[in-house]
Structure 1
Amino acid sequence: MIKSKTFGSYLSDIIIWTVLLLLTALCFLPLMNMVSVSFSDSTAAQANQVGLLPVNVNFNSYRVLLEDAQFWRSFMISVERVVLGTALNLLLTVLMAYPLSKNTKQFGARNIYMNVMIFAMLFSGGMIPLFIVVKSLGLMDTIWSLILPGAVPIFNVILLMNFFKSIPDSLEEAAIMDGASKLKILFKIYLPISLPALATIGLFSIVGHWNDYFSGLLYMNSSANFPLQTYIQQLNVDVTKITDPSQLKAIASVSNKTLNAAKIVVSIIPVLLIYPFLQKYFTSGLVIGSVKE
């Protein structure tokens, strides 16, 4: 029997939707302002005259970015870092989370590894020891200096470990009776039914690698090897270096404020393109993997 809604239930729905709309506006309106600033004239941007719509629309800030050969080089370095880094993160996370999801009877050294992981997650050696390690291994000015220091994200390991624990043991027992090896059980049974968790930690890795700029400052001596975020973080409008009158005229309506806005817009586009494909897995993977029964 379907019961009609009471006045109180209607009122609660209105309050909930109002709060959600306000939260959406708080997230969306600043982004709209940033996009508008990036398309506006530098004078209007510096005078804080830009709201949700651009003022004196021009594309010079994007032209400064996109016509720069170093921008595209840094973009490809970031793409390479995301592809290699995410693949390595997923591989090592899976290989570490699977044995840690077993009890001590199945994996005797489980508690030792768990204690080491938790300690490493809570207490870091610091920036200087990590820099010395990277330099002593000869990784400076290479793509691997951006990938290997964070190759095993411990939080993701714990997330995936708890997800593996939620998988019924009967599946593995049936596979063992059929003569399957541990690796075959992992890749043929566990991984296919762990897509929500894998998509979640994959998204974490993609966003982490793409947004990180500080590693480029630490480990890259040459600006030619900067990833995209490091490059655009240091990019400024410097008219003193421009000698061509046509270029000087084109950049006249560009300021550091409009250029910074364009940096932010360009840098978030790849993540916005990837997120919709992983969003359907994200919530379920995060919730299931974070609950321990």
Structure 2
Amino acid sequence: MVEDRTFGGRLFSIVNFALLAVIALVTVLPFVHVVAGSFTTNAEIAAKKFILVPTVWSTEAYRFIFSTPTIFRAMAVSIGVTLVGTLFSMLITSLMAYGLSRRDLDGRGGLMFLVVFTMLFSGGMIPTFLVVKELGLIDTYAALILPSAITAFNMIILKNFFQNIPEGLEESAKIDGCHDFGILFRIVLPLSMPAIATISLFYAVTYWNTYMNAILYLNKSEMWPIQVLLRQIVVLASGMDYSSNLDSAVPPPEQSVKMAVIVVATLPILLVYPFLQKHFAKGAMLGSIKG
């Protein structure tokens, strides 16, 4: 019986490894194709369709994208909006999550109902636009941050994580004379780094991928974030009707530019993710255990 069980265990490990290897290849190969396609010529893309290693290496796509200083201004805008927006979102999300995690909070059930209600129903695009306009946020970077400053899903995950922290720690802090803000910033947040890292990554990806808000609220092209500008670059490379402040003198290679745009838009988040990955699964799982 022991030998049969050992053989079955080894067979399971082999099959499991093979299956995971296939899944990994299916996941990674498309991205490798995009990166390889961004470093090759249009002729090779048209001839081979699927490329893993370019026969002729070319940087024309990246030279076209970075041939104008507009791309660096847009990159700076996206980085600034992502950093400021993530910090602001984490601040107000932490404050609200901590308050709702307190079981002695009066009206806690009603407030949670209002939060969950926003997950099921929203005002829609037009009412949101009217609110942003009446607040005077059109053509301001605040329009990219305030409408999406807090997400009910992220707040609930953080609230549930806070509820897992032993109440004895807070009671001990109160005995030592610590007020509520002191408890939050000195005890609760330092003990919640896995959840903080997870929610921060969620917000950072949201702000970095800001596109629709920029299209709706920013009329000045010099204020565009990187996602909007990259879309305009793809339009230009496709030979469509186009008017912008791009003054590139490099001819656009259409297909490789599309792939290079994907790489430029994705690479910053990919560089940040490894530093938060170890907290990601733990934070998301612990925050979803209790309601």
Instruction: Normalising by structure 1, report the TM-score.
Output: 0.91
Taking the TM superposition and a 5 Å limit, the aligned residue runs for 1:191-270 are 191-235=189-233, 236-237=236-237, 238=239, 251=251, 254-270=252-268
1:46 aligns with 2:46: yes
Partner of residue 7, structure 2: 7
> Is the 1:36–1:50 contact (alpha carbons within 8 Å) kept by the matching residues of 2?
no
Tell whether 2:62 aligns with 1:62: yes
Q: Distance in 2 between matches of 1:216 and 1:46?
A: 33
Tell me which residue corresponds to 1:29. 29
Distance 1:55 1:266 in 2: 22
C-alpha deviation, 1:239, in angstroms? 10
For residues 64-104 of structure 1, give each alpha carbon's deviation from its aligned partner in whole angstroms, at most 9, with x where no partner exists. Answer: 1112111111101100110111001100010000010122x
In structure 2, do the counterparts of structure 1 residues 63 and 190 end up closer, same or farther at CA, with 3 Å as the change threshold?
A: same
CA contact (8 A) 1:41 1:55 kept: no
The equivalent of 2:140 in structure 1 is 142
Amino acid corresponding to residue 36 of structure 1 in structure 2: A
Structure 2 residue matching 1:89: 3-state secondary structure:
helix
Q: Which amino acid aligns with 2:93?
A: T
The Cα shift of 1:5 comes to 6.1
Counting matched residue pairs gives 282
- Cα distance change, pair 85–4 in 1 and its aligned pair in 2 (3 A): farther
Aligned to 1:84: 84
Identity %: 40
Following superposition, the deviation at residue 3 of structure 1 comes to: 10
Contact 1:45 1:257 in 2 (8 A): yes
Aligned AA (1:88): F
Distance change >3 Å, CA 205–CA 59, structure 1 → 2: same
CA distance in 2: counterparts of 1:75 and 1:83, whole angstroms: 12
Indicate if the aligned counterparts of 1:42 and 1:255 stay in contact, CA closer than 8 A: yes
Task: State the alpha-carbon separation in 1 of the partners of residues 107 and 96 from structure 2.
Answer: 12
Task: State the superposition RMSD in angstroms.
Answer: 2.1
Amino acid at match of 1:278: L
Check 1:203–1:59 CA distance in 2 against 1; reply closer, same or farther (3 A cut). same
Q: Aligned partners of 2:65 and 2:160: how far apart in 1?
A: 43
Q: Residue 143 of structure 2 aligns to which amino acid in structure 1? A: S
Letter in 1 for 2:105: F
C-alpha deviations, 1:202-232, integer Å up to 9, x for none?
A: 0001111112212111111122211101110
Tell whether the 8 Å contact from 1:44 to 1:50 is kept in structure 2 after alignment. no
Unaligned runs of 5+ in 1: 242-246
> For the Cα contact (< 8 Å) 1:62–1:262, is it kept in 2?
yes
Contact residue 35 and residue 263 of structure 2 kept, 8 A: yes
1:126-180 residue CA offsets vs partner (Å, 9 max, x unmatched): 0011111111111111111000001111111000000001111111111111121
- Residues in 2 aligned to 1:222 and 1:44: alpha-carbon distance in whole angstroms: 37
Q: CA deviation at 1:50?
A: 4.3
8 Å Cα contact 1:213-1:233 kept in structure 2? no
Label 1:48 to 1:220 Cα distance change in 2 as closer, same or farther (>3 A).
farther
Distance apart, 1:112 and its partner CA: 1.4
* Residue aligning to 1:281: 279
Q: Secondary structure at the match of 1:62?
A: helix
Distance 1:239 1:204, change over 3 A: closer
Contact 1:142–1:220, Cα closer than 8 Å, also in 2: yes
Q: Which residue of 2 aligns with 1:71?
A: 71
- Residues 152-191 of structure 1 aligned to structure 2 (within 5 Å): 152-191=150-189
Shift of 1:256: 2.2
Equivalent residue, structure 2, for 1:115: 113
Task: Measure how far apart 1:4 and its partner are.
Answer: 10
Which residue pairs with 2:245 in the alignment? none
What is residue 100 of structure 1 aligned with on the other side? 100
